Amino acid sequence: MATADRELLSRPARNAVRGLMSDLVAGAIGEYWENEHFTQDPDFTPGDGGVRKQLFDSYAASVDWTDDDQVTRALRVFESMLRRLDRESRKYGGNGLPADTVADLREAFARDGCHLDDELRLHTARVAHLTVHADALTEASGGILQRGRKTHARHPGHQV
């Protein structure tokens, strides 16, 4: 389970997509990020890589990688980029993204609980945090909780 400070999508997964940005036009990079309501980080300091990779980085720097909603939106950005790269390759006589590239992407995303399918769509296995008020529990589950509380009160050093 992710803690508040744990990134939900790792740097290796992000870098796997970043590595392909040299083949995508700069306008599309910005467009896909902005379609999901991301903006460039105004405090971003460019690092290594060409203009397109730095453009990608400037948007990625604005994402809170510990926030489920933002990561979900960023995954849609990545999916759109990958599908565009695949279409562009086919448009100009290629066979889409190379099989070894797709395999590398799948491996990188799988480490974070994501699956990249054959249509280059990303699926996550993350489950949102479950918040249930005790009053909303059924009577039976409430009884189990009550027994747990009583047991803990009698034996405070034991885990219930």
CA distance 16 to 72: 17
Tens digits of per-residue pLDDT, 16-61? 999 999 999 999 999 999 999 999 999 999 989 999 999 999 999 9
Q: Give backbone dihedrals phi and psi of 123, rounded to 5 degrees, phi first.
A: -125, 140
CA distance 28 to 98: 20
Tens digits of per-residue pLDDT, 59-110? 999 999 999 999 999 999 999 999 999 999 999 999 999 999 999 999 999 9
Q: At what angle do helices 51-60 and 11-18 cross, to 10 degrees?
A: 150
CA distance 86 to 116: 13
pTM: 0.76
